[in-house]
């Protein structure tokens, strides 16, 4: 960095890119510690503050997109004493010059935080209706989804991960005929051991969700007012709406193009520092010390630590054990999966929809759990027994 660049960037604001839970949580935590340093948030969307987990339970609660919005960008700017630029996409980062690129515009930063989240994985589907498949990953997607949802009807959901199962339960509660299609032989593979997944599957089926596991959608055709979904198994489902919930992946293109290290996400250490000086990342887009955890609790802990760092006290995040609640009211589920590579085995007990599955190492130490139905009440006690992710 030249002395001219140093002078320019020390007068520039701290810039946060992204107005999701990560970007706004960080701004909130930072303002608790520092009310003077200029702060700017730049976001590709309209900057509305909302809680993304509400998107998959909003329908049966009768919430429109406007009702899920907590505050608009103007209110957030005032509350957090920051400039907010909405509908503005960052197109490049010059880490040497400490400048952001927005098309041909160049904007200096003192420190930069990438809170750019994750993007939906899109399926390669054929057929005349393939372009009509909806994914729901932000408030404007939710608004489109609510507008396209007919009064009553048939919805096919592609993907039986946490989000697919939550949408299935929510729409079924809202009176829709719901079919859930996924290549895995169980719901939430990778998150739930098979017995716990079996309990959720049975509960969804009892609610009337039609499960099509071990197969995939191959083509979607529009036939008059209906969509026809052809599965690899040969079965054909008829739908009014098709929702894809096949997964998300961290947005890394911007960071990669700027020469930052990336893996599954934007690579950062426990102080959320990327490979470039004065550039940080947190939230769904970040891979923290090798781990990508796309949930709210990890990003909140990261926001608290990073706020301290930005305020002058370099702080590493310490993630404790962080269970995830799956919002399937037909079978409440709490899960804290063992970290990948953990050695041990699952043991489970089942009574109806109630499953207690625990993952222990050879010495009997608890390393993970999955609880469904009434057993989910044991979540707190078991979480206390788990070792933290970062000791």
Ligand X SMILES: Cc1cc2nc3c(=O)[nH]c(=O)nc-3n(C[C@H](O)[C@H](O)[C@H](O)COP(=O)(O)OP(=O)(O)OC[C@H]3O[C@@H](n4cnc5c(N)ncnc54)[C@H](O)[C@@H]3O)c2cc1C
Q: How far is the CB of 94 from ligand X (least distance, A)?
A: 15
**Which residue's structure tokens are 């960095």?**
1
Q: Binders of ligand X: how many residues, by CB under 6 A?
A: 35
CB under 6 A: which stretch of 6-14, 180-188, 296-304, 354-362 binds ligand X? 296-304
**Which residue's structure tokens are 């970040």?**
286
Q: Are 211 and 156 in contact (CB under 8 A)?
A: no
Closer residue to ligand X in complex, CB, 1/271: 271
Single out the residue of 14, 16, 17, 158 in contact with ligand X (rule: CB under 6 A): 17
Please state, in angstroms and rounded to a whole number, the distance separating the CA atoms of residues 146 and 141: 9
Please state, in angstroms and rounded to a whole number, the distance separating the CA atoms of residues 123 and 121: 7
Closer residue to ligand X in complex, CB, 228/244: 244
Q: How far is the CB of 194 from ligand X (least distance, A)?
A: 22
Residues 250-269, mask of contacts with ligand X (x by CB under 6 A)? -x--x---------------
Residues in a beta bridge with 336: 369
Under the criterion CB under 6 A, does residue 20 sit at the interface with ligand X? yes
Q: Are 230 and 243 in contact (CB under 8 A)?
A: no
CA-to-CA separations, 255 to 68, 121, 133, 328, in angstroms, rounded = 30, 18, 29, 35
Gyration radius of the chain's alpha carbons: 22
Query: E strands along 204-341, which residues?
Result: 210-213, 217-223, 226-231, 236-239, 241-244, 248-250, 266-268, 279-281, 286-288, 324-326, 333-336
Single out the residue of 28, 33, 45, 213 in contact with ligand X (rule: CB under 6 A): 45
Under the criterion CB under 6 A, does residue 115 sit at the interface with ligand X? yes
CB atoms within 10 A of CB 105: 10
Under the criterion CB under 6 A, does residue 18 sit at the interface with ligand X? yes
Closer residue to ligand X in complex, CB, 231/330: 330
Please state, in angstroms and rounded to a whole number, the distance separating the CA atoms of residues 232 and 228: 13
Single out the residue of 324, 346, 350, 360 in contact with ligand X (rule: CB under 6 A): 324
CB under 6 A: which stretch of 12-20, 70-78, 151-159, 360-368 binds ligand X? 12-20
Check residue 387 and give left, alpha or beta (phi > 0: left; psi -120 to 50: alpha). Answer: beta
Residues 140-179, mask of contacts with ligand X (x by CB under 6 A)? -----------------------x----------------
CB under 6 A: which stretch of 58-66, 68-76, 115-123, 177-185 binds ligand X? 115-123
Residues 85-114, mask of contacts with ligand X (x by CB under 6 A)? ----xx------------------------
**Which residues of the shown chain bind ligand X in the complex (CB under 6 A)?**
17-23, 42-45, 52-53, 55-56, 89-90, 115-118, 136-137, 163, 251, 254, 283-284, 294-297, 299, 324, 327
């Amino acid at each position: 960095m030249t002395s001219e660049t140093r002078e320019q960037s020390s007068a520039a604001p701290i810039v946060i890119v992204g107005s999701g839970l990560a970007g706004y949580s960080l701004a909130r935590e930072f303002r608790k510690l520092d009310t003077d340093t200029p702060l700017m948030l730049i976001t590709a969307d309209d900057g509305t503050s909302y809680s993304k987990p509400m998107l998959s339970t909003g329908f049966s609660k009768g919430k429109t997109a406007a009702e899920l919005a907590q505050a608009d960008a103007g209110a957030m700017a005032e509350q957090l004493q920051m400039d907010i630029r909405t509908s503005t996409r960052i197109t490049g980062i010059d880490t040497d010059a400490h400048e952001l690129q927005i098309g041909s515009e160049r904007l200096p930063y003192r420190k930069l935080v990438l809170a750019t989240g994750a993007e939906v994985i899109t399926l390669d589907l054929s057929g005349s209706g393939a372009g009509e498949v909806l994914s729901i990953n932000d408030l404007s997607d939710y608004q489109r989804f609510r507008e396209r949802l007919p009064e009553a009807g048939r919805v096919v959901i592609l993907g039986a991960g946490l989000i697919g199962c939550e949408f299935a339960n929510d729409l079924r509660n809202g009176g829709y005929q719901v079919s859930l299609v996924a290549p895995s032989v169980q719901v939430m593979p990778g998150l739930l051991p098979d017995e716990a997944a079996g309990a959720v599957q049975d509960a969804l089926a009892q609610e009337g969700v039609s499960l099509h596991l071990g197969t995939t959608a191959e083509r979607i055709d529009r036939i008059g007012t209906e969509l026809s979904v052809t599965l690899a198994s040969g079965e054909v489902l008829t739908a009014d709406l098709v929702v894809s919930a096949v997964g998300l992946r961290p947005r890394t293109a911007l960071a990669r193009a700027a020469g930052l290290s990336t893996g599954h996400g934007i690579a950062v250490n426990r102080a959320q520092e990327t490979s470039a000086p004065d550039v940080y990342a947190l939230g769904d887009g970040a891979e923290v010390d090798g781990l990508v955890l796309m949930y709210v609790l990890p990003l909140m802990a990261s926001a608290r630590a990073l706020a301290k760092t930005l305020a002058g006290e370099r702080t590493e995040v310490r993630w404790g054990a962080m269970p995830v609640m799956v919002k399937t009211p037909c079978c409440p589920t709490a899960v804290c999966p063992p970290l990948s590579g953990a050695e041990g085995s699952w043991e489970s007990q089942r009574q109806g929809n109630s499953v207690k599955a625990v993952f222990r190492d050879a010495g009997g130490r608890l390393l993970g759990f999955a609880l469904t139905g009434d057993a989910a009440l044991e979540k707190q006690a078991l979480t206390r027994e788990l070792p933290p992710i970062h000791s």
